[in-house]
Chains A and B, each alone.
Chain A
Amino acid sequence: MSTTETTASGVGPVEGGSYNVDNPAPYIEAPRQRTKKTPKSTRGNFEMAAWLFMRLSGVVLVVLVIGHLLIQLVLDGGVSKIGFAFVAGRWASPWWQVWDLLMLWLAMLHGCNGLRTVINDYAERANTRLWLKGLLYTATVWTILLGTLVIFTFDPNIR
């Protein structure tokens, strides 16, 4: 911008005459400023909590899932060693029970919330969204319950 420009200012004549200390311009609220008149949000902070959960669970899942893959696919002969006896050996230890339980809950909830976002993005009709999410939540709850039950009721002497 040139400082030597001397053409008229871009601001046209101001309505209501010129303002000065004795005749101040009317105060205009900043856009989106929250005031007493702003309606209270009815949704709480759910979306913010969900956003934060994705990040916190993500950090923990890095350790849990990559550790799991290392144990199942890389160490001790990789997949070839897996079988009922191997699982019995692992779930004899509370450490791996808790590991698997935490991994189950965090991965299912993280994935479920992720898929909720995907459904919100692509399913355009309200009805479609409702049904897809109903299906998602039902499948998630049942899978978490089944996996939890399996860890807690595992019986090495089933046969």
Chain B
Amino acid sequence: MPAGTLYRGREGMWSWVAHRVTGVLIFFFLFVHVLDTALVRVSPEDYDKVVATYKTPIVAVLEYGLVAAILFHALNGLRVIAVDFWAKGARYQKQMLWTVVGVWIVLMLGAIYPVLGHAARVVFGS
């Protein structure tokens, strides 16, 4: 049996951890994102140069990760709101969590081609 002192909660705790980690990640991305967008006030060339890095295969994978973080945070955020405001929310929190996970998987599968397709064409040739 584990001897550590780490509290191992159930699904509710892990969804909370994931909500926190994704929220912080998105926030840090947003700082960088407002800075890169601000380059449109510097010159079109500088903006286009930086945006070109957004189109490379490696960054495409990061974008897929960002989409994963946002979709989870958004769906689970709606679940948290339902738990707080819907009279039966707390009773169905677990079912709602699995709904969140299910919808998330479907949306992530749907995002593969639009987000990663261009990267695959670069890496494997079209």
Q: Which of A58, A73, A84, A107 contacts B40 (CB 8 A)?
A: A84
Interface centre among B40, B45, B71, B78 (most CB of A within 10 A): B40
Is residue A80 contacting chain B, with contact meaning CB distance below 8 A? yes
State whether B74 touches A147 (Cβ < 8 A): no
Q: Which of A69, A78, A118, A158 contacts B44 (CB 8 A)?
A: A158
For chain A, give the interface size range: 35 or more
Contact code string B51-83 (vs A, CB < 8 Å = 1, else 0): 100110000100100010011001001101100
Give chain A's interface residues, CB within 8 Å of chain B: 55, 58-59, 61-62, 65-66, 69, 73-74, 77-80, 82-85, 87, 104, 107-108, 111-112, 114-115, 118, 139, 143, 146-147, 149-150, 153-155, 158-159
- In the complex, identify which listed stretch (B4-12, B98-106, B112-120) lies at the interface while the others stay far away: B112-120
State whether B81 touches A58 (Cβ < 8 A): yes
Size of the chain B interface, CB-CB below 8 angstroms: 38
Per the bound structure, the CA–CA distance linking A74 and B47 in Å amounts to 21
Is residue B13 contacting chain A, with contact meaning CB distance below 8 A? no
State whether A84 touches B48 (Cβ < 8 A): yes
State whether A79 touches B77 (Cβ < 8 A): no
Give chain B's interface residues, CB within 8 Å of chain A: 20, 23-24, 26-27, 30-31, 34-35, 37-38, 40-41, 43-45, 47-48, 51, 54-55, 60, 63, 67, 70-71, 74, 77-78, 80-81, 84-85, 111, 114-115, 117-118
Q: How far is the CB of A57 from chain B (nearest CB, A)?
A: 10
With A55-B84, A58-B78, A79-B63 given, is the CB distance from A153 to B41 under 8 Å?
yes
Per the bound structure, the CA–CA distance linking A59 and B80 in Å amounts to 11
Instruction: Offer 8 A-B interface pairs, CB within 8 angstroms, sorted by A.
Output: A59-B81, A79-B63, A83-B47, A84-B48, A85-B44, A115-B24, A139-B31, A146-B34
Residue of B nearest to A115 (CB): B27
With A111-B27, A146-B38 given, is the CB distance from A83 to B70 under 8 Å?
no
State whether A84 touches B37 (Cβ < 8 A): no
Per the bound structure, the CA–CA distance linking A153 and B40 in Å amounts to 10
State whether A114 touches B23 (Cβ < 8 A): yes
B48 contacts which chain A residues (CB < 8 A)? 83-84
State whether A83 touches B51 (Cβ < 8 A): yes
Q: How far is the CB of B66 from chain A (nearest CB, A)?
A: 8
State whether A114 touches B24 (Cβ < 8 A): yes
State whether B111 touches A74 (Cβ < 8 A): yes
